[in-house]
Amino acid sequence: MAFTSTIDIANNVARITLVGELDAGAAPTFRDQVEQAANAHVQRLVIIMTDLTYMASAGLRALIFAKQKMGAAVDIVLVGVQDSVRETLEMTGFHQSVAIVDAYDGDETQP
Amino acid sequence: MQEEQISEPAAHAQREEALLKLERDIQIGRRIQASFLPTTLPEVPHWELAAFFQPAREVAGDFYDAFMLNQNRRVGIVIGDVCDKGVGAALFMALFRSLTRAFAQQHYSLRWMDADETDFLTSPVTDRRRGIPSTGTTALKNAIGLTNNYIINNHGDTNMFATMFFGVLDPVAGVLTYINGGHNPPWLFNAAGVKMRLMPTGPAVGMLPDVDFGIQQVTFEPGDILLTFTDGVPEARDPDGAFFTEAKLRMLINDPMPAAAQELLERIHGRLTAHIGTAAQFDDITMLAVRRLSASDVPDVS
């Protein structure tokens, strides 16, 4: 499946929706959007992964970039993570650095 | 402008020359990188080590290593996968591999290690079992802990990390003491089935600062095989994009039980090649297997 990444910034929250496979070829697009979110000085970065079917190590590297670029004060929330992607996050230990939720309704107090 | 005066064939020739130069540089990089892998694996009495390495491109982010430690009383066994692809991953492969090997071979005790030993002496017996300071523990702690901090302190802005399994084998006792830093869990198995999966004891190396990597131990019985591999094996794709999968890998490792570690790797390579078919190889494929010989392999040993 072709990869797409779309960003929407509103009310101090950046929402990036990832669809398809986040591999080495796709990672730079995602990374650019993380920079956009960082430049907008949002308080929270929500990454919708419901339709993300695969994440290579290059994708994980881009997530670490997001964590670093956004800074410690910004929450990163991963939403609707599929099992194969969750396995990668848990095996490598990155799940400790972010919040993982099944659904995100836009409530600022969540999770 | 000057460039407009260059004829089309001349410009073409210039591009060709630039490409050739790039190709030569990549080939030099490939040769130098090959020198970061062991030319031969250690020969350890009553044990067999075998490795398989097939990069997806000219240069790789995967690596493996095996070397003697503690005056030939221990064997260090490493498999690693640096994140991302291409020349960047290849440069970091050289760094991760060199740091882990160099730190493992340092035998002096470091001040930050002393805290651990104090903990051992004062901690309850139940906790001690988990962190037995057998020979090799310092080498492991140094190799992974110091590499983790070095990468974060000096290259943190690159977001590079590596999943890495590092084991220190006591070949006489048959005990492997290991750290699994976020790497695909290796299997220890025999003809009856999988005895244990060596699950992560900490995160990927270079990902999080000041991590206390856990240490675990596992004992080989004669005939047992440990298979370590990188994600290029389960994630190899066929022409339709379907993964090989860990489930398929698990099915073929001991059915039938291979008579040698080398035979196991050849079997997996054969199945992988058939699976990939005409598709392009997406990721580096690396495996390192360790087998404790059984009495039938060495009739002169009781």
Q: Which residue of A84, A89, A92 to mutate against B (max B Cβ within 10 Å)?
A: A92
By Cβ distance, the residue of B157, B182, B283 closest to A92 is B182
How many CA atoms, within 13 angstroms, populate the side-chain half-sphere of residue B246? 13
CB contact under 8 A, A94 and B203: yes
| pLDDT above 80 for B151 | yes
Full-model pTM: 0.88
Q: How close B159 comes to chain A (CA, Å)?
A: 6
pLDDT tens, residue by residue, B43-61: 999 999 999 999 998 889 9
Give, in degrees to the nearest 5, the angle at Cα B94 between B69 and B276: 105
Percent of chain B residues topping a pLDDT of 90: 72
Nearest CA to B173 among B140, B134, B120, B138?
Answer: B134
Q: How close B82 comes to chain A (CA, Å)?
A: 8
CB contact under 8 A, B83 and A96: no
Q: Return the higher-pLDDT residue of A109 and B24.
A: B24
| pLDDT above 50 for B68 | yes
Kindly list the residues from chain B whose CB atom is less than 8 angstroms away from the CB atom of residue A27: 84
DSSP single-letter state for residue B144: I
CB contact under 8 A, B208 and A97: yes
Q: What share of chain B is helix, strand, coil (3-state, %, to 5)?
A: 40, 25, 40
Q: Is A97 on the interface with B (CB under 8 A)?
A: yes
For B235, name the nearest residue in chain A, comparing CA atoms only: A56
pLDDT for B296? 82
Using a 10 angstrom Cβ sphere, with 0-12 exposed, 13-18 middle and 19 or more buried, the burial of residue B292 is: buried
By Cβ distance, the residue of A56, A64, A96 closest to B161 is A64
Chain A 59-88, residues with CB within 8 Å of chain B CB atoms? 60-62, 64-65, 68
Q: Is A95 on the interface with B (CB under 8 A)?
A: no
Lowest mean pLDDT among A25-29, A67-71, A91-95, B108-112: B108-112
Spatial separation of the C-alpha atoms in residues B32 and A33, rounded to whole Å? 36
